[in-house]
Amino acid sequence: MKFQIMHESKGRVRLRAMQNRMSIEQADLLEAWLLSLPGVDRVSVHERICGITINFHGDRSALYRKLAAFSYKVAAPAGKSGTGSSRAMNRQYKEKLISQVVSHFLRAAFLPDPLRCLITACQVLPRIWKAAGTLIKGKLTVDVLDGISLGVSMLTGDFSTAGSVVFLLGIGETLDEWTHKKSVADLAKSMSLQIDQVWQSTKDGSQILTPIDQIKPDDLIIVHTGHVIPLDGILEQGEVMLNQASLTGESVPVAKRPGSAVYAGSVVEEGNCIVRVTGGAGENRYDRIVRMIEESERLNSGAENRAYDLADRLVPWCLGGSLLTLALTGNTTRAVSVLMVDFSCALKLSMPLSVLSAMREAGNHKITVKGGRFLEKLSQADSIIFDKTGTLTHACPTVGSVVPFNGNNAAEMLRTAACLEEHFPHSVANAVVSAARERGLDHEEMHSEVEYVVAHGIATRIGSDRVIIGSRHFIFDDENVSIALEDQALFESLDQRYSWLYLAIGGILSAAIGILDPLRPEAVEAVKSLHESGFSRIVMLTGDSRNTASAIASQLGLDDFRAEVLPEDKAVYIQQEQQQDHTVVMVGDGINDAPALSRADIGIAIGSGASIAREVSDIVIAAEDLQELVLVRKLSEKLMKRIDRNYRFVLGFNGLLILFGAFGILAPSASALLHNTSTLLLSLDCMTDLMPKR
């Protein structure tokens, strides 16, 4: 396909597609395809003029070569975003606005007065009827104020003012609806499931990793323990325990058997299953998220709810002010001018838009926030608690030392440990298996069926001996493993830089495997920045030994730590902190962190961690950088400052308009124009980014 270069500058190029007409679908496809190219930062496609603006970094000539090879047919698979586009919606509202403006001024210019009055009456009567219905229900809302002001203008024969007011109200409603829907669409897009591929079961029983957008209804997909069900479907094979908290809010897992319906976003806590898909990608999760954002009360922040309550409480005062103005002046125009100004529009629109915009901005930084109230709570939080492995570290541990006991050989003990650990692949197990592989130690099956004890270790039998591997608590406290007398000194001298994994055979300690889990390179600086952002307590909870945890806490500059804790202990610790009036943030990444993430005031999951941790959390940090925690904290604080500023502006500016109307300085149409314009400008300001571009 050919493109004409219209303008070039450093890191930016403006092009025109050499085609007569570009459809909305083609514009969406081209934009998605361009965004998928390496080095492309931002793209804007204008379908009406076939124009494209690209911001990029890297080789310009390489970008041009890619563009020269572009075609809509070839780009179709790569350009599917699965989350919908707001382009059609934007065009719809633009055309609606233009139609409203053009029709209003054409009527004013060319229609005779009697016909204009008749059209105005037809436009005003539905609003008066709506106001009457609201009053009958015993409610006082802004619809009542609008209906009374329009009714008074009609009764006094001021059809010109009534026509101008109903026109401005219509424009304001269209703009309000447009800005809100756009914010919701942008947010929903950022919150969609980040699943690109699924395991598909074929007719011959094999498993193929397949792009999710190629999955069709009636296809079979395989979902394993700890993973999210990506598409709606019917359970075909397997019995599973399903966590549907993201759908129903109920955290207790539900048993599902063949024939049961399962839904996208649910997490398989226990078991594996095969699901027969009933809806393709984009047909369920996106719609559910949009409904959740628009309808779910749990998304509203306290600031939003306070704005709604205040707006409703101010309506009777506006009505009373209008009646008082009429009683004191006897001037209906002044009374109508007061009615034209209300606090409801600006308060009820600007607050949700501020929250939605902040959530959308967080999404641009690969941070998913599941509700406005979590941003508000985060701005108030004073304690933050970290899991260690996978959170403060990269969860890529390595074996640093193998110490044999009871006369055993180090290589043979590592071989045995790898044979057990390969059945339950987590970060520590992978480290053991990798260490054996690197040392050329093959480990054929030598044991009976293995048993995995959650958060403790693994147990099996080799011959007649019970073999266990796991944490110190599991080995020595739960299993009462003994240490040979001649090994006591060696055991007590184990290097405390390592986290030790213990292997016991026949009830006697046979080996200790030292695990190193290096800290994330940004962890020290991130903890320092979190202290500076206002967190008075930064705590680490870990299953590691006290000596290992103490060394890490000292290195990071933490305020406190707890070592050798179980998953349920983390949740109990958080509850104790909350009882001391702390607002607690929990940051974790594993299945074992799920209880603590649910218990905390704000649960933050690392995106690279377990699916269940992401689902039960309130915020998900997808980026591999703990500094994102600092960013979302600052974002929440800036959001609350914006909301406070909006309160002051709305009350101050609209209060002035009411005074000007009462003293006859502003006519009703001017009051309505200034009120709607200020609401629109405030709404547009609320949609701007809170944080500077990085």
What's the whole-number mean pLDDT along residues 384-388?
91
**Among the listed residues 231, 229, 479, 228, the one whose alpha carbon sits nearest the alpha carbon of residue 219:** 231
- 451-482: pLDDT as tens digits: 766 556 788 888 888 999 988 888 998 889 99
Using the predicted structure, report yes or no on whether residue 294 has a pLDDT greater than 70.
no
Using the predicted structure, report yes or no on whether residue 139 has a pLDDT greater than 80.
no
With cut-offs at 50, 70 and 90, classify the pLDDT of residue 576. very high
Count the neighbouring beta carbons within 10 Å of the beta carbon of residue 56.
19
Using the predicted structure, report yes or no on whether residue 533 has a pLDDT greater than 80.
yes
Task: Give the number of C-alpha atoms closer than 13 A to the C-alpha of residue 400, restricted to the C-beta side.
Answer: 14
- 593-635: pLDDT as tens digits: 778 888 889 999 887 666 667 767 788 887 678 899 999 999 9
Compute the distance between CA of residue 248 and CA of residue 94 in angstroms, rounded to an integer: 37
- Please give the mean pLDDT across all residues of the chain: 80
Confidence at residue 647, expressed as pLDDT on a 0 to 100 scale: 83
3 state SS of 99: helix
Using the predicted structure, report yes or no on whether residue 495 has a pLDDT greater than 80.
yes
Confidence at residue 297, expressed as pLDDT on a 0 to 100 scale: 37
Compute the distance between CA of residue 148 and CA of residue 146 in angstroms, rounded to an integer: 6
Query: Which of 157-171, 196-210, 262-276, 511-525 comes out lowest in average pLDDT?
Result: 157-171
Confidence at residue 588, expressed as pLDDT on a 0 to 100 scale: 86
Query: Which of 85-89, 253-257, 331-335, 424-428 comes out lowest in average pLDDT?
Result: 424-428
8-state DSSP, 5? E
With cut-offs at 50, 70 and 90, classify the pLDDT of residue 81. very low
Using the predicted structure, report yes or no on whether residue 251 has a pLDDT greater than 50.
no
Using the predicted structure, report yes or no on whether residue 66 has a pLDDT greater than 80.
yes
Confidence at residue 512, expressed as pLDDT on a 0 to 100 scale: 95
**Burial label, 49 (beta-carbon count in 10 A; 0-12, 13-18, 19+):** exposed
Using the predicted structure, report yes or no on whether residue 38 has a pLDDT greater than 90.
no
**Among the listed residues 439, 430, 564, 565, the one whose alpha carbon sits nearest the alpha carbon of residue 500:** 564
Q: Given the structure tokens 């945890």, which residue do they identify?
A: 549
Compute the distance between CA of residue 293 and CA of residue 182 in angstroms, rounded to an integer: 12
8-state DSSP, 226? T
**Burial label, 327 (beta-carbon count in 10 A; 0-12, 13-18, 19+):** exposed
- 302-323: pLDDT as tens digits: 555 666 566 667 777 777 877 8
What's the whole-number mean pLDDT along residues 157-172?
74
Q: What is the chain's length?
A: 694
- How large a percentage of the chain has pLDDT more than 90? 20
What's the whole-number mean pLDDT along residues 559-565?
89
Pairing of strands 451-453, 398-404: unpaired
The identity of residue 69, as a single letter, is A
Query: Which has more pLDDT, 691 or 339?
Result: 691
> How wide is the angle at C-alpha 13 spanned by C-alphas 9 and 15, nearest 5°?
140
Using the predicted structure, report yes or no on whether residue 19 has a pLDDT greater than 60.
yes
Count the neighbouring beta carbons within 10 Å of the beta carbon of residue 295.
8
Confidence at residue 148, expressed as pLDDT on a 0 to 100 scale: 76
Per-residue exposure over 133-160, b if at least 16 CB sit within 10 Å of its own CB, e if not: ebeeeeebbbbbbbbbbbbbbbeeebbe
- How large a percentage of the chain has pLDDT more than 70? 82
Query: Which of 341-355, 562-576, 587-601, 673-687 comes out lowest in average pLDDT?
Result: 341-355
What's the whole-number mean pLDDT along residues 265-284?
76
Best-predicted range by mean pLDDT among 5-19, 166-180, 652-666?
5-19
Question: Do 597 and 616 contact (CB within 8 A), yes or no?
Answer: yes
Count the neighbouring beta carbons within 10 Å of the beta carbon of residue 257.
10
Alpha helices (H) in 203-301, listed in sequence order: 245-248, 285-295
Question: Do 387 and 593 contact (CB within 8 A), yes or no?
Answer: yes
Confidence at residue 73, expressed as pLDDT on a 0 to 100 scale: 77
Using the predicted structure, report yes or no on whether residue 545 has a pLDDT greater than 70.
yes
Best-predicted range by mean pLDDT among 219-233, 319-333, 438-452, 656-670?
219-233
With cut-offs at 50, 70 and 90, classify the pLDDT of residue 147. confident
Q: What is the pTM of this model?
A: 0.58
Query: Which has more pLDDT, 602 or 363?
Result: 602
3 state SS of 459: strand
With cut-offs at 50, 70 and 90, classify the pLDDT of residue 175. low
Max CA distance (Å), the chain:
111
Query: Which has more pLDDT, 526 or 517?
Result: 526
Compute the distance between CA of residue 103 and CA of residue 122 in angstroms, rounded to an integer: 15
Return the bridge partners of 466, or none. 461
Confidence at residue 196, expressed as pLDDT on a 0 to 100 scale: 66
Query: Which has more pLDDT, 329 or 223?
Result: 223
Pick left, alpha or beta for residue 271 (phi over 0 → left; psi -120 to 50 → alpha; otherwise beta): left
- 222-249: pLDDT as tens digits: 998 878 888 888 999 888 888 765 554 4
H/E/C letters for each residue in 127-185?
A: HHHHHHHHHHCCCCCHHHHHHHHHHHHHHCCCHHHHHHHHHHHHHHHHHHHHHHHHHHH
